[in-house]
């Protein structure tokens, strides 16, 4: 019986092309180095799933895969939720456990550091800051973050549409608040005629959610210069792929924001990359950690866009691996697109756990294993694996002992991380925040000009504001308490971002010469030439 299992795995995982070596088959509790379990490099753009309970080895699996992808010249992107993946930048240490595992699975082990780029969201953490404009983020993803209902999401889309047509760049959250407040004021109401109305009640809900969003620290994530996703597709001088790690500090405080921001990156890749069809190896492999947050309370429209992105992005040469605790966390339409599965131990302590276990078993091809029992008894660093073969068929299910990482299985030291940031070629482009004239400043000038002053399209500004209703008074009080612009009045000076003690102050874009003025105007005109992607994200072309 054991010989039959070994023979089945040997034949099922015998591929002609380049592969990632995952580990070795386990038979009767012992790994068989003569029955390696691997995944074809050419099939990694067919996506995959890495799942398992906390502490079962998911992060080390990501590390093993990222190392081999980089060695093959494939760039990698991963969200580093706990900071452990930063160990990829430092050579590993061969202790007794590492030596025993490497020998058991037939792995040639030597300590190796890999080329790593560190990114951070906004101004907090270690790495080069990643920012996006509100316009680029788009109404669909922002509605997901703000947890808006369908009516509120539709109204938010109307606000974005108005800002586009009126030439009001939405760069920071303060720009979006200013546009919403303007459209619900007496001055702004006529601008929405013919486009549909924006009720004060809906506007009030969106504004309150934006206030809470800003209070959570989200302001630092929006701004310019905007991160170009082409920066993820880099190789080091020695030809190895660069592993880009996005630090996610405090993910427990803003979980939906982080998962949605990752979705923004994926949507940007979908919009920006050309069609390439099937390649011998992917252009990028994207590890989407904490994937369950993406699907929680998602609208039908959001899920439809997500499924479409996952289905079509493989033709752009991008492979996506969702990382979560259980296959049940991933929507079934997305799960159906995932060709490779690496399932670590699942726990069945509660009825919900038992249901998740049964659901996970149903996602695997038929095998000789009692998967319900096996999935609950896997050891740390073991997994149940099936991948897509070179001919597009699922491989036999294999109880696998995974390889040991060659890099450090702990966070790299502060000295190593600081050195990576200092040497980053991206720091010069994205290191300093730039504040150009956007919707906030344009509307401030429009209101300050008074009746008859300049507005978008050269039309006069309507006259005096109406008396405030009780609802407006409440909104006004809330805005004053939080230090925000008051609806229907001239906004206060645009709040400045407080620079990090380790960073230079933000630079302000200026037009001090005729050439600068021309470029600024041309840039605003170019910004109007936009396309709408599946998530409503918008990019300058």
Tokens of 369: 């294993």
Q: Give just the sign of the alpha carbon dihedral 39, 44, 46, 48.
A: positive
Burial of 123 (0-12, 13-18, 19+ CB in 10 A): buried
- Separation CA 395–CA 11 (nearest Å): 9
Q: What is the CB neighbour count within 10 angstroms for residue 158? A: 18
* 3 state DSSP class of 38: strand
The residues, any chain, with a CB within 8 Å of residue 313's CB and separated by 6 or more, are 266, 269, 270, 273, 320
DSSP designation for 13: T
Question: By C-alpha distance, which of 410, 382, 449 is closest to 84?
Answer: 410
Measured over the CA atoms of residue 342, residue 348, residue 350 and residue 354, the dihedral's sign is positive
What CA–CA distance (Å, rounded) separates 345 from 379? Answer: 7
Query: 3-state secondary structure string, 150-199?
Result: HHHHHHHHHHHHHHHHCCCCCCCHHHHHHHHHHHCCCCCHHHHCCCCCCC
Whose structure tokens read 């020695």? 238
Give the whole-angstrom CA distance, residue 509 versus residue 275.
Answer: 35
State the pLDDT at residue 530.
35
Beta strands in 239-317 (DSSP E): 243-247, 284-288
Q: Is the peptide bond before 225 cis (omega within 30 degrees of 0)?
A: yes
pLDDT of residue 426: 95
pLDDT for res 421: 93
- Nearest to residue 159, comparing CAs of 207, 189, 198? 198
Who contacts 355 (Cβ-Cβ below 8 Å, separation ≥6)?
328
pLDDT in tens, 117-128: 999 887 777 899
Domains defined for the chain, CATH in brackets: 2-130+224-422 (3.40.50.300), 134-211+436-540 (no CATH)
Residue pair 238/111 in contact (Cβ under 8 Å)? The answer is: no
Q: Residue 537: which residues within 8 A CB-CB, separation 6 or more?
A: 136, 137, 138, 140, 141, 264, 267, 268, 271
Burial of residue 307, with CB atoms counted within 10 A of its CB: 0-12 exposed, 13-18 middle, 19 or more buried: middle
Assign 362 to helix, strand or coil: helix
Q: How many Å from the N-terminal Cα to the C-terminal Cα in the chain?
A: 61
- Provide the Cα torsion 19, 24, 26, 30; round to 10°: 180
Q: Looking at residue 324, what DSSP letter applies?
A: E
The answer to whether the CB of 37 falls within 8 A of the CB of 398 is: yes
Phi-psi region of 227 (alpha: psi -120 to 50; beta: other; left: phi over 0): beta
Residues facing 51 on adjacent strands: 324, 343
For residues 124, 498, 258 and 414, what is the CA-based torsion angle, rounded to 10 degrees?
-10
17-27 burial string, b = 16+ CB within 10 Å, else e? eebbbbbbbbb
Give the tokens for residue 233: 């597709």
* Best CA proximity match to 130, nearest among 62, 168, 77: 77
Contact (CB, 8 A) for 414 and 120: no
Size (the chain), residues: 541
- Write the pLDDT tens digit of every residue in 191-202: 776 666 788 889
DSSP secondary structure, 391-457, as one string:
TS-BPPPEEEEEPPPSB-SSPPPHHHHHHHHHH-TTHHHHSS-EE---HHHHHHHHHHT-TT---GG
d(CA 108, CA 71): 14
Per residue of the chain (541 residues), give pLDDT as tens. 577 899 999 999 999 999 999 999 999 999 999 999 999 999 999 999 999 988 899 999 999 999 999 999 999 999 887 788 999 999 999 999 999 999 999 999 999 999 999 998 877 778 999 999 999 888 988 998 888 988 899 899 999 989 988 899 999 999 999 999 988 888 887 877 666 678 888 999 999 999 888 887 778 889 999 999 999 999 999 999 999 999 876 655 677 777 778 888 888 998 889 999 888 999 999 998 878 877 877 777 788 888 888 899 999 999 999 999 888 888 889 998 899 999 999 988 888 888 888 888 888 888 889 999 999 999 999 999 999 999 989 999 999 999 999 999 999 999 999 999 999 999 999 988 888 889 988 888 776 665 544 444 433 333 334 544 444 544 554 554 344 555 555 444 454 444 433 333 333 333 344 434 333 433 433 333 333 466 766 554 3
Separation CA 344–CA 380 (nearest Å):
8
Torsion of CA 123, 127, 131, 137, to 10 degrees: -120
């Amino acid at each position: 019986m054991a010989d039959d299992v070994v023979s089945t795995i040997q034949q099922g995982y015998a591929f002609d092309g380049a592969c990632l070596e995952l580990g070795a088959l386990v038979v009767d509790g012992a790994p068989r180095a003569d029955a390696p379990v691997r995944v074809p490099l050419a099939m990694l753009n067919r996506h995959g799933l890495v799942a398992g309970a906390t502490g079962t080895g998911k992060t080390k699996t990501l590390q093993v895969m990222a190392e081999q992808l980089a060695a093959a010249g494939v760039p990698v992107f991963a969200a580093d939720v706990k900071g452990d993946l930063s160990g990829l930048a430092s050579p590993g240490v061969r202790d007794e456990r590492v030596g025993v595992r490497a020998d058991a699975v037939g792995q040639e082990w030597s300590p190796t550091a890999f080329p790593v780029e560190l990114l951070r969201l906004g101004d907090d953490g270690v790495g080069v800051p990643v920012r996006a404009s509100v316009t680029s983020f788009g109404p669909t993803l922002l509605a997901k973050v703000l947890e808006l209902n369908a009516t509120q999401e539709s109204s938010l889309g109307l606000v974005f549409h108005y800002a586009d047509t009126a030439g009001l760049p939405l760069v920071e959250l303060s720009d979006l608040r200013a546009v919403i407040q303007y459209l619900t004021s007496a001055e702004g109401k006529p601008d929405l005629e013919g486009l549909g109305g924006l009720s004060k009640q809906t506007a009030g809900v969106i504004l309150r959610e934006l206030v809470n969003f800003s209070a959570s620290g989200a302001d630092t994530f929006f701004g310019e210069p905007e991160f170009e996703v082409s920066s993820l597709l880099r190789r080091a001088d020695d030809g190895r792929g660069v592993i880009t790690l996005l630090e996610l500090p405090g993910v427990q405080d803003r979980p939906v924001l982080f998962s949605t921001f990752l979705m923004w990156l994926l949507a940007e890749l979908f919009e920006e990359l050309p069609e390439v069809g099937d390649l011998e190896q992917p252009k990028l492999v994207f590890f989407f950690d904490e994937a369950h947050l993406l699907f929680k309370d998602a609208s039908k429209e959001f899920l439809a866009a997500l499924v479409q992105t996952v289905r079509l992005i493989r033709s752009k040469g991008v492979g996506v691996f969702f990382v979560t605790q259980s296959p049940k966390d991933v929507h079934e339409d997305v799960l159906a697109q995932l060709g490779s599965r690496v399932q670590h131990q699942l726990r069945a302590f509660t009825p919900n756990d038992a249901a998740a276990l049964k659901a996970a078993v149903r996602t695997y091809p038929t095998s000789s294993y009692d998967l319900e029992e096996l999935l609950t008894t896997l050891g740390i660093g073991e997994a149940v694996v099936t991948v897509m073969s070179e001919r597009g068929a699922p491989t036999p299910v294999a109880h696998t002992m995974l390889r040991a990482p060659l890099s450090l299985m702990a966070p790299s030291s502060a000295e190593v991380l600081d050195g990576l940031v200092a040497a980053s070629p991206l720091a010069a482009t994205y290191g300093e925040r730039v504040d150009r004239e956007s919707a906030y400043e344009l509307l401030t000038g429009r209101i300050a000009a008074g009746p008859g002053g300049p507005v978008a399209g050269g039309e006069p500004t309507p006259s005096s504001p109406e008396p405030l209703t009780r609802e407006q008074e409440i909104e006004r009080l809330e805005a004053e308490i939080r230090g925000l612009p008051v609806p229907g009045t001239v906004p206060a000076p645009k709040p400045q971002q407080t620079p990090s003690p380790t960073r230079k102050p933000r630079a302000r874009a200026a037009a001090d010469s005729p050439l600068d003025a021309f470029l600024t105007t041309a840039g605003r005109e170019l910004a109007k030439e936009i396309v709408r992607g599946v998530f409503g994200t918008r990019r300058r072309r």
